[in-house]
A and B are shown apart, each in its own frame.
Chain A
């Protein structure tokens, strides 16, 4: 026979998914039958190994059930534990929200107008005295004015007296 089953058909057969044509072919072709038997045999040996791992004794299963029961008794399920955790977490979140102080907002500086800046620079450069000495300049101007007024008053007094 020339047209043997391909891998896809063999695997499908091992999975119990083969079509009628494959089933008919397997009836006639000993080589394909051996192939599929080899695959099924290997998987069967593996499954048997898995089954055998638990041992033939029902005591194994009994001991396992007893262990489960004992662990359930030792570690009873406490549904309130979840609620306790949830409540604790929620409390922390609320406390954090209440006591968290936001830093004072930094006052936003007004935007600097380019023209005003240029004008202030120009004024500063055109001034005879630096800006820092302007109060002193004002004071000296005031003193000068007072000095000018005082002699004028004295002259008036002399004229009246004479």
Chain B
């Protein structure tokens, strides 16, 4: 399959296939590959925004689809396939975060100071042509990531789903198993924190 075919296939609405709406028990390998194709970019974006590591996001994206295939008999079509996949992905990111925290404490007690440092330096792509705008963008990006890392898990997840996953409030509520009003509250707090971060970054 070449690049054009991939780009074209990605637009096919696999997430709303009638055959999948009632369950995925008898899905063929080809149909499942179509689901991967239609959802991998969003899953990857959501995971990357939560773990902030490209390789980890790639691995977790693959794991997300493997889990989905293994648990396909549990999908009953109450939510869309896309929402169901994002739910699996956010659970994976949560588990990864727990394991990473455990690894941090293990490293700390093992006394390896080289690995106690904070997150890796930002590798910011140049989003604007002029040096001033590039600098501003770098500062903004740094502020948003810094604010994101301070957010409680649910606020961070809601923020990621909204702005990285480009999901509606209803979809976020389905993924997080929350009321829409609660999702709004989490998003409001998250964006407020980001706003404070951006403002603080601009003043310093």
Contacts and interface: CB of A to CB of B under 8 A. Distances in A.
**A and B part of one assembly:** yes
Interface of A: 7-8, 10-12, 14-15, 17, 38-39, 41-43, 45-54, 58-59, 61-62, 64-65, 67-69, 71-72, 75, 77, 79
Interface residues of B, number: 48
A64 B62 contact: yes
A137 to B, nearest CB: 78
A43 B195 CA distance: 9
Identify the 4 closest CB pairs spanning chains A and B, nearest first. A42-B140, A46-B144, A58-B3, A42-B198
Nearest to B162: A15
A54 B44 contact: yes
A43 B163 contact: yes
Contact of B6 (A17, A49, A58): A58
B188 A75 contact: no
Contact of A43 (B3, B7, B44, B144): B144
By secondary structure, the B interface counts as helix
Interface in B172-204: 184, 187-188, 191-192, 194-195, 198-199, 202
B142 to A, nearest CB: 10
B36 interface: yes
Interface stretch (B13-21, B53-61, B94-102, B110-118): B53-61
Given A15-B191, A71-B62, A72-B69, 13 more contacts: A39-B191, A39-B195, A42-B198, A45-B127, A45-B137, A45-B144, A46-B148, A51-B164, A54-B44, A61-B41, A64-B36, A65-B33, A69-B33
